[in-house]
Each structure stands twice: as C-alpha cells, then as structure tokens.
Amino acid sequence: MAELGFVMGGLSYTYENGVTSTDPFPPSNDPVIILGKKYSSVFDHKKLKKVVQTLPWFTYRKGFNPIGGTGPTSDQGWGCMLRCGQMMLCQSLVNLHLPPNWTWSIDSLGGSPAYRKVLDMFLDKKSSCYSIHQIASMGVAEGKNVGQWFGPNTVAQVLKKLTSYDDWNQIVIHVAMDNTVVIEDIKSLCKTPHTSSGVNLQFESDTSITTSLYRDPSLSSHLSPHTSLTSSESWDGHVWRPLLLMVPLRLGLSCINDIYMRSLKRFFELPYTVGVLGGKPNHAHWFIGYTGDDLIFLDPHTVQPMVDTDTHDGLWDDSSYHCTAACRMNISNLDPSVALGFFCRTEQEFDDLAQILQHEKNSIAPMFEVCLKRPTHWPPLNTGNPHGTDTVFTVVPSPKYDTDDEYELV
C-alpha cells in the first residue's frame, strides 16, 4: 500500500493508493465542488482547507468498552462504512443546528454548545445514540454480526432505526428503495410527529440510554436563532421533522457505468447534498465532492485512541474528529454500490429539492426516479416505529443494494 501522510495533533495518518497529492487541491482551472458549493483551488485554497477541517471526520478507534460487554474494543478492519454513515448523519445534524457559515477551530476548546451536543451523539460509548456500539448492535437486526462489514444500504437502515431513540433531533431518515424517491411518502413521514419508542436502547449488557437522554433544556439558551426551532415545533405552520434522505443505488455491475459519471458529479453540485457513502474494494469512504474527474472524500481508515470525555468537564479536545486534508480518487475507480444523501430542514427545502431533481432528469441520465405517489404494486407505507410493531428487531432484508463480498477487510 502506497503511503502519503500528514501530521495533526501528534498523530500520523496514512492513506491508500488513489490519493493524487499530499495537497488535495493543487492549483487548477477545474473548480472544486464540495457539498453543493463551488470553490477555486487557486483563489480559495485557504478557505478549502477550512471547509474540509470543519467537516466531521470519524475514523477507526481503539480502546473503547467492549461492544455488547464481551465484543470488540476496536472497529479496525470492519467499521469503515459505519464511520462513513456517522459522518453523513453528523453533517446533517450540524446543518440542522448550526448556521451555514459556522466553522470549526482547533483553538476553540469547548466550541459551540450545539456542536458539542451533536458530536456527543457519536462518541465511542454505549450511552451515545449513534455510537459505534449502537450501530454495530442494531446491525444484528439487519443480519450483520457485530464486527461484520456493512454495505451502504445496511448502514442506512440501521441509522434509520436508531432515530426512534433520538428525541432531541427528531430527525426522519428515509431510505428510498428500488431506485425510487416517493414525494408523498416522504411528506407523510416528515409530518408524522416523533413518538418516543418507549423502549430503552439496551443492546449492551450493562447500560442503556433512554429516549429522554438528549432533552437538555439548558442548551436552548446557547443556540443561535438559526437553531431555535426544534422539530416538534411548527416550521412553517405545521409539524415538519427534518429529513435525511438516503438513496442506495447500484450504478453498474463491477464498476460505475460511464453514463452515470456526469450524473454523480452533478449530484455534488446540488443544494442539500450531504455526500455519498461508498468506496472501492478494501475501503469505504464518505465522498463530499469532486474536481475534474477526481472524487473528493474523507477517509476513516486511521486508527486513533478512543477519546475519554468523562474526565474533562466537557472541555475535551475534539481535534481528532477533524482532519486538515481530504483525499482524492478517480471516479472510474468507484465501486458501483453507493448511497446518496440529501438533508432538508424544512418542507420548503424538500419541495425545492424535489423540483430540482425533477428538472435534472431532463438534462442528464437520472440515477434514480422521483415520483409523486407510491407505486400501486408497493405495500402500504408504515409511518410508525421503524422497528415494526411486534419486535425491536424486525429485519427487512434488501440484499441487492449491498455488495459486501466485493469489499475486503483491512
């Protein structure tokens, strides 16, 4: 494996083949597109570094408490797609709670209370709603043993189930199936009030988190006007819960089909995008943009020690959750099994996104369909608990979207 690295906070990071330069943004006439925004590698070089540094970066960790009480204490070699799912969801929650121009700084120990509250939901401890412990344990419901590699669809389905325990954000994760986004279904889900599951999230042997864990009244006084709304309040006259729309796709057989390359690059230019989960054999990545024919991504394949936040009175160092450089790989090297992500805070934003997607299909090869109503041959939409009505572990297999056998553990 070829190695290219940089050092931050005393840790050395190495990357796989496919990184084109130690500087991911060398001067070029090609624009750099990151999560719906356009930059110049010539005139915006410092800004690009700051943009990347502000994004959440979740990597392999070691030294956390055993998953399930007796399971692994590190996710090295199997947790890369789980970490990528964390990055996409964390960025969605940052978009929900923080102003669009918010930036992270290595000097701001403590940082924004809202940001710290978001980050806490992903820490490597059993009490965090979206921790590696809870994602890996909930994966059992999707037929994945703890320590087994996830595909893009599996991590999407698991995160969807975990949202029922998230009373603070009350987010809807909708996983579009059969390459189809149904507008009517999404509106129905987002207008259904969040209902606490009534079940402790107790997949671990000795601890649990309750659905009220993240209701912290003291936080509201610290939030900016941008974050003053909660999803249980009226966004525009009625209840609308924020939406993370995830679209699992297969864009080819063994490699991405050429007809979708332009469409995938165009996806990164759209507003409301929160990136792509995918990768190539051996590695999963969170893709955040492109320049030229190269995709830009954050790489979780770095092993770092677990951050112990319990002994620092809330002022722990969060620099290991941010990196100073993104990576690049040619789009032709992308494995065709991916999951696209869109985040919409309000119904107006979703209506705007739906209109954009309808318009886009007239100019480029569409990667998925957008329709107003649910196809007649589909079963009725279930707007209730994503776990189902009979058991916490209702398995809804969708094997055609996951190609775990094409990925090797590292």
pLDDT > 90 fraction of the chain, expressed in percent and rounded = 64
What would the pLDDT profile of 324-354 be if each residue is shown by its tens digit? Answer: 889 999 999 999 999 999 999 999 999 999 9
Question: Is 61 in contact with 306 (CB distance < 8 Å)?
Answer: yes
Spell out where 165-305 has E strands. 172-175, 180-182, 243-250, 273-280, 283-291, 294-298, 303-305
What would the pLDDT profile of 243-294 be if each residue is shown by its tens digit? Answer: 999 999 999 998 999 999 999 999 999 999 999 999 976 689 999 999 999 9
Q: Is 359 exposed, middle or buried (0-12, 13-18, 19+ CB in 10 A)?
A: exposed
Radius of gyration, CA atoms only, the chain: 20
Residues labelled as active-site residues: 80, 299, 301
Question: Is 142 in contact with 154 (CB distance < 8 Å)?
Answer: yes
Question: Is 163 in contact with 174 (CB distance < 8 Å)?
Answer: no
At 105, the pLDDT band (50, 70, 90 cuts) reads confident
At 89, the pLDDT band (50, 70, 90 cuts) reads very high
What would the pLDDT profile of 30-56 be if each residue is shown by its tens digit? Answer: 999 999 999 999 999 999 999 999 999
Nearest to 173 by CA among 191, 160, 190: 160
- In single-letter form, the type of residue at position 277 comes to L
